[in-house]
């Protein structure tokens, strides 16, 4: 879950981004605030292929919990992109 703290700003003349904005991310499984090291699941809706929905997780356990709880909701998407596991996460992924 993404919380926008400050919106991006653009130059009124040339439309270039002058400030990128600030966001804070929270785990969609447990609600814990996330740092840079997070897992991201991207879902593509059936009706609009360009609009995506992103879910963020602190670990594989939270991703699995979310998946089990929201299976019916996730079926409304055309396809999902799962994070790629790192070699040191393999055991946690397949628990």
Global pTM reads: 0.73
Structural domain spans, the chain: 26-84
d(C-alpha 66, C-alpha 31), whole Å: 11
pLDDT of the chain, 95 residues: tens digit per residue? 666 766 778 888 898 878 777 788 999 999 999 987 789 999 998 877 678 899 999 999 999 999 999 999 898 888 899 988 877 777 777 77
Check: CB of residue 74 under 8 Å from CB of residue 67.
yes
Sequence-ordered alpha helix ranges (H) in the chain: 60-69, 71-74, 90-93
Closest CA to 27 of 75, 68, 59: 59
Q: Which two tokens stand for residue 39?
A: 């897992």
């Amino acid at each position: 879950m993404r919380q926008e703290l400050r919106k991006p700003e653009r130059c009124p003349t040339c439309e270039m981004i002058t400030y990128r904005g600030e966001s804070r991310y929270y785990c969609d499984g447990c609600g814990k605030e996330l740092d840079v090291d997070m897992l991201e699941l991207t879902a593509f809706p059936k009706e609009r292929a360009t609009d995506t929905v992103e879910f963020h997780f602190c670990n594989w356990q939270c991703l699995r919990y979310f998946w089990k709880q929201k299976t019916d909701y996730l079926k409304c998407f055309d396809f999902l992109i799962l994070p790629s596991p790192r070699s040191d996460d393999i055991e946690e992924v397949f628990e």
